[in-house]
Chains A and B, each alone.
Chain A
């Protein structure tokens, strides 16, 4: 085989992969549209108020890991204590903070140190003390040695008194009825629903007061604006589809409700994992299927929480490398689930698709970007087909974004002319450089090296919290993947 033939076949391969991938995305978009439409009317009529006044609504424990969150933790707890939900407790896990996080909590919520025996259902770093609030907020604070976000969440799971646990971060702002809407999925089918994920949206440049979102806006800066589009594509265009067929591979760390008994049975979150939320979701799937536990892992698009996303290329690069490292770890561990009928839709559809179109996508795309300049350099690039394909790829990318924005329209966010224009411009230009950059970062994650082994730090511009100092271990509060 000559070099020319080889390059030709590589080109055909990349093209075939591109077609398959577009078909995959459009199929997910169509299923999502169907699922969102199916649930839309139900969510408009009365569900939340009925649950709020019901005595049968299951209680929930909210776990907030905190590492050096002195500035924002009190506001975060106050904001969460105002959630519309009949019965819940808040467990804050102070993950070895070096600032005054613990003291801020003690002062604000009249905490008293209680010498309670700690129930270590899941092994964690040593707990230094437990505190209980004597004020109006039902709050427990666990003070423990630094062990990272996953370890802190596990300590929270250990201390949880209620059967469902909402795991979140200190920098997340929930809409008032978000928990109720997520738990409506549990009440719908309490026997089978083992976990529910919520909808995360970027809050950068939006107006926030006293821990509440006043007005959402599309950011002026390109990097966060691009992420608004990404989050909409993921949370409206893809996840409703996976949820509809009970094959959801990921519940975001910023907003996940887990059934405690199963979280304990799977050993909790994996400390040090770069993608502990995806790892946990997959562990839930595997455990339930293997043990024959009736299960339903759901996503609720109307349960909305807002969080800050990276503002600079440097922070975004670190975040994306970390996410892809997490995906690599998860793929390594759960690859044997693929094409196993025992694991149902997850094993036969979701997981193979994730491996083929999420894990391998950067490799194939990168090969494409290598072949093109090589072919051009040696004069074998057929310009006409290349340009048509380029326009096709650009058009498909734009179409994908437009479909997701149309699906998002039901939520009624960003309806000013300025926001619409910003989103459309972003949808048009994100394929001109940004997409290629993210492919490169994911390749970097695959190549390994020191840069890919550090956790990195989320630098917040902040509605309440400011940048934390570098932690000795992965921080307890870090931005979660979409």
Chain B
């Protein structure tokens, strides 16, 4: 059985851990609120670009590979995780989803990693990385999203990849982040995904494209990819802080529970010690008076 001193030391260290996790929780809560506000403020832009992409794609008559795709020999996938851990299953679920995605493909694979956690994961697994983006998972910049977007568009344009996917945590709330797989190029909507969305057929309205739908499309695609990367990075950042906040809250709760249990044990041990001391003294006194 643990001695009183051991227990005291343990309680001390558990309480220290609780202090650290609580501090992390507070910091994450602040960052989370900021990141959440950023996601919300960024949505109108992303929604509009996405809608425009859908409209133009349905109007453009071209059989441009950017739109309709080409024979798939190589698939590029970009996985977005956080730079740091201590966020519960946040990073692991992206990496698991990526591995499953890779297993599902009947094509050669090219991996792009954003976030230190995914970089180290893929390196550890011996998966070669085409491009690496780190240092901004905490607070993404559009600049970084553009780099990622351009890298992905380039892979397609130089025919190094015939399809480009993005895997990231969609932010739902502080408690839930859902890993999603999104196809970026070709931009034509994936059939199976569209069933439940049912966009009203762009209201059949007439829309003029200046100078023409093809030209707009050509300019729009890279911007669309960038924007989707940007949105994904922002959602991931909000998810990261939310997940860390939640993880740290339960860590703090656990540490406090543990400290409580240990304190109980310590009190028992102390009482046992006192009891045995008293009985020793009593026994000693009895022996003396008997003698």
Do A and B bind? no
